[in-house]
A and B are shown apart, each in its own frame.
Chain A
């Protein structure tokens, strides 16, 4: 599997660390416990296209949102997380 990093180009998956589902959004601190439960535990876990966070640990150290098919490992694209509006990306980490 090779991930097309917007900064570094197509790189081997071994350079990246996985964080998981990029559609999850950390609730506001004042939210109720159900909102936090929903953030931490349940997952859609789709068999098909999946928006997910990867960290380019062995490269530019940017957080990326990668759109990947979990059935085939085909990657449709990757964008820098803060541009993709990923949760917490403004602060530099998910």
Chain B
């Protein structure tokens, strides 16, 4: 069913009794043109763009859990393209452009809200770095505005401007950044892919990848062997284990990143703000809860939960920025699995095994990349050649030295 004002009104008159499940639950076919391992945002968007852009509809998305159970439902919903490396900016800007047209494209309300993203700076050196980043963005055609302290005060009057230790000197603002309702992104892409014939196979764990003579032939799953002409891996924090099924070792460590939601309050923060003197970001959901987080815990983890030192640090930074929220209660907090690459940038590339393609290394920033990641991964799988905007995201860059070192920290996954 296509959603429209009329479908909503007619359902309202029928007491909302006519809504149907928005994707099928098919049994696996014996063979597909493409099998995508991982039914997260990136796997689903890849399936959708394979069907839409390349006409490849004999596609299965194989998911161990259920749609929306992984990082696509565990992130803090921020979209932006305020990057500073040439290998990154065109990619993330293309992603933001896709976000801007997403809801019309997939006929699904994902609540894309371009409320802006503001990165605060607290020293002269940080101002220079913000100006450089802003200029780099503008040279790539991305919107960026360097605000002084009065500009920030106008935008977010309730920040603490009297912080003697970390005074706010200004901020770099990207007005087109913002937030998107993450669950709706998973459901919307799943529905749109399903409508074009893609099979979404939930609760179907991949237990092996059949490889002969350096050529991938298919995947062993909980529901039996599925033959595949091509296989794409989009397994985020589980990438190392799945790639190991094909004998690959990746430049990836899996870490835990925690996030937090407060009780709902009246409109308080109408943009996304990051604290420049630590690692902290905050926005307000449409339900009123403050959504915020900080840095990864910093050690290898698959536990999907973190430890207290990071929680303490995050709360300290929250109150340093907004003393007024000191009495708010935290409703929920959780951890997600981050596929931390060794230079902090992702990998969308072929592997040394024929017909096996890899999409991983999203670190702490995979959500904003969901549309472009799918777009470029679909292009790679369909055309056997990298998409222009993802051409630098190669697997062999760690061996050749062509790193995309956005944060300048070197091969230290716990620092990205």
Contact = CB atoms under 8 A, between A and B. Distances in A.
B136 interface: no
A45 B307 contact: no
A71 B253 contact: no
A43 B301 contact: no
Contacts of B299: 18, 52, 68
B300 interface: yes
Interface string B295-322: 0001111110001110010000000000
Interface string A11-29: 0111000101100000000
B226 interface: no
Contacts, number: 67
Contacts of A12: 308-309
A42 B298 CA distance: 18
Interface residues of A, number: 23
B398 A45 contact: no
B307 A44 contact: no
A40 interface: yes
B303 A70 contact: yes
Interface in A18-57: 18, 20-21, 37, 40-47, 50, 52
A42 B300 contact: no
Contact of B308 (A14, A21, A40, A46): A14
Interface string B388-405: 000000000011000000
Given A1-B307, A13-B309, A20-B253, A45 B301 contact: no
Contacts of B249: 42-44
A49 to B, nearest CB: 11
A20 B300 contact: yes
B240 A44 contact: yes
A41 B303 contact: no
A42 B252 CA distance: 7
Nearest to B303: A73
A42 B302 CA distance: 18
A13 B249 CA distance: 29
A12 B308 CA distance: 9
A43 B252 contact: yes
Given A13-B309, A40-B342, A47 B250 contact: no
Given A47-B254, A70-B300, A41 B342 contact: yes
A52 B300 contact: yes
Contact of B252 (A18, A45, A71, A72): A45
B23 to A, nearest CB: 29
A25 B250 CA distance: 17
Nearest to A50: B300
B252 A20 contact: no
Given A37-B398, A41-B251, A41-B411, A73 B309 contact: no
Contacts of A52: 299-300
Contact of B251 (A14, A20, A42, A68): A42
B46 to A, nearest CB: 23
B411 A40 contact: yes
A71 B302 contact: yes
Given A18-B414, A40-B342, A40-B411, A45 B303 contact: no
B241 interface: yes
B342 A45 contact: no
Contacts of B252: 43, 45
Contacts of B302: 47, 70-71
Nearest to B304: A71
Interface in B237-265: 238, 240-241, 249-254
Contacts of B411: 40-41
Which 6 pairs between the two chains have the least Cβ-Cβ distance?
A: A14-B309, A45-B240, A41-B251, A42-B249, A41-B398, A47-B302
24 contacts: A12-B309, A13-B309, A14-B309, A14-B312, A18-B299, A21-B253, A21-B300, A37-B398, A40-B398, A40-B411, A41-B251, A41-B399, A41-B411, A42-B249, A42-B250, A43-B252, A45-B241, A47-B254, A52-B299, A52-B300, A68-B299, A70-B300, A71-B302, A71-B303
Interface of B: 238, 240-241, 249-254, 298-303, 307-309, 312, 342, 398-399, 411, 413-414
Given A42-B251, A45-B241, 16 more contacts: A1-B307, A12-B308, A12-B309, A13-B307, A13-B309, A14-B307, A18-B298, A21-B300, A45-B240, A47-B238, A47-B241, A47-B302, A68-B299, A70-B301, A73-B301, A73-B303
